[in-house]
Amino acid sequence: MRTAPIVCGIVSALSLATAFFPAASQAQTTKSDGAAKLVVGTMRIPPFVLHSDDGRWSGLRIDLWKQIAAEMRAETEFRAFDYDVDGLLEAVERKEVDVALAAIPMTPDEESRFDFSHPYYKAGLAIAVRTEASSGSFGVLAGFFTPQVLGTIGGLIAVLILAGTLMWLLERRRNANFDPHPVRGIGDGVWWAAVTMTTTGYGDKVPASWGGRVLGIVWMFPSIFLIALFSATLASSFVVDRLKTKIGGPDDLPRARIAVVSGSAGERWLQAEGLRGRRYPFVIQATKALQRGDVDALIYERAILGHMTKHYGWKELEILPHTLAVHDYAIAIPTGSPITESVNRAVLKVLSRDD
């Protein structure tokens, strides 16, 4: 039988074909007409990446990629990883996508996981805070209802009652200006103490006994100190208390409650500075926490914060002018990808045209 040699020949031919034409491990595919088709992993990050309800992708990053793909003569298949930064980066590591297009800063940690293209964008971190309430009648009244002011007022009333009671005890039998009835008489004494403290001096109630006059002299001098203490406390309620909550820049962050987004450049910056923050999975949750007053500040990419506050009309949020750190942003590419050089050349061509 000659079938055995024929079968052996077919098996050998298949082995050679497999050796010279291995299955592609990358997500990159080739269409029947020879054009490359690249799988681009991305996620919504306004204003850089937008995804409409009808499935269309747009935004600054998408426009940039379309120019890069045109330079590479490649078609694109977008794969969404919405609200899943870790999933997107893991897909790059596992070579499930050809490139990742998002707000991915170039850092040593990320470089150890995959490769980067040439940087195409430079951006910094910013601090978002709540705007201070405008001064108005409500704000002024609110300043009176702080524990410090209420405590001072309570203490002042107690001292007035004590001084008025002593004056009534000394004058109730000899002075018609002080009613003999305890409640009305102590009221007369408190009125005298208050008038004397404020240096108004109506003169409608004055002590007649030597004991009452001595008490009046003794009361005059401490009352000057008490009225000054009350004025200082009231002033501090409008100034010092505002300074406690106002975040004016990076120097105020150590005493502030800070929000960061998990896995973001803001979280890495905070850790590098030795500061602690509250982690939120998404930036929208972090901004809501800032609006509620759960935190005092939010650290995130300036461009994204600026777009969100403008797009959503968040007038109660303010982005401070300070820039905490500047990062280069680039396209993430699987390690050893055959398209790395092509992507880099295309990035440089597109950027040179934009310049």
* Between 263 and 254, the higher pLDDT residue: 254
Inter-residue contact 98 to 336 (CB < 8 Å): no
Per-residue pLDDT of 45-104, as tens digits, reads 888 888 888 888 998 889 999 999 999 999 999 999 977 888 899 999 999 999 999 878
d(CA 126, CA 249) in angstroms, rounded, equals: 10
Sketch the domain layout of the chain as residue ranges.
23-120+330-354, 137-245, 247-328
Domains 23-120+330-354 and 137-245 alike in fold: no
In the predicted model, is pLDDT for residue 22 greater than 70?
no
Inter-residue contact 323 to 125 (CB < 8 Å): yes
Per-residue pLDDT of 131-183, as tens digits, reads 765 444 555 555 566 677 778 788 888 988 998 899 889 888 888 888 888 88
Give the pLDDT score at 215. 87
Q: What is the mean pLDDT of the chain?
A: 81
Residues 6+ apart with CB under 8 A from 149: 143, 233, 234, 237
Sign of the Cα torsion 69, 72, 78, 84 reads: negative
Give the pLDDT score at 239. 57
Give the pLDDT score at 20. 37
Choose among 292, 345, 339, 347: nearest CA to 98: 339
Question: Coil, strand or helix: which one is 210?
Answer: helix
Pick the CATH number of 247-328 from 3.40.190.10, 3.60.40.10, 2.60.120.200, 3.50.50.100: 3.40.190.10
Give the pLDDT score at 3. 45
Pick the CATH number of 23-120+330-354 from 3.40.190.10, 3.10.50.40, 3.20.20.70, 3.40.309.10: 3.40.190.10
Mean per-residue pLDDT for 286-306? 91
Per-residue pLDDT of 26-51, as tens digits, reads 465 544 444 578 999 998 888 888 88
Mean per-residue pLDDT for 339-347? 94
Helices vs. strands in the chain: H and E counts, helices first: 12, 14
SS (H, E, C) the chain: CCHHHHHHHHHHHHHHHHHHCCCCCCCCEECCCCCEEEEEEECCECCCEEECCCCCEECHHHHHHHHHHHHHCEEEEEEECCCCHHHHHHHHHCCCCCEEECCCECCHHHHCCCEECCCCEEEEEEEEEECCCCCCHHHHHHHHCCHHHHHHHHHHHHHHHHHHHHHHHHHCCCCCCCCCCHHHHHHHHHHHHHHHHCCCCCCCCCCCCHHHHHHHHHHHHHHHHHHHHHHHHHHHHHHHHHHHHCCCCHHHHHHCCEEEECCCHHHHHHHHCCCCCEEECCHHHHHHHHHHCCCCEEEEEHHHHHHHHHHCCCCCEEECCCCCCEEEECCEECCCCCCHHHHHHHHHHHHHHHC
Mean per-residue pLDDT for 286-310? 90
Amino acid at 246: K
For the entire predicted model, the pTM comes to: 0.56
CATH code given to domain 137-245: 1.10.287.70
Give the pLDDT score at 354. 65
Mean per-residue pLDDT for 112-141? 77
In residues, how long is the chain? Answer: 355
d(CA 190, CA 183) in angstroms, rounded, equals: 11
Per-residue pLDDT of 200-247, as tens digits, reads 777 778 888 888 888 888 888 888 888 888 777 777 666 555 544 468
Distance of CA 83 to the CA centre of its chain: 18
Question: Coil, strand or helix: which one is 334?
Answer: coil
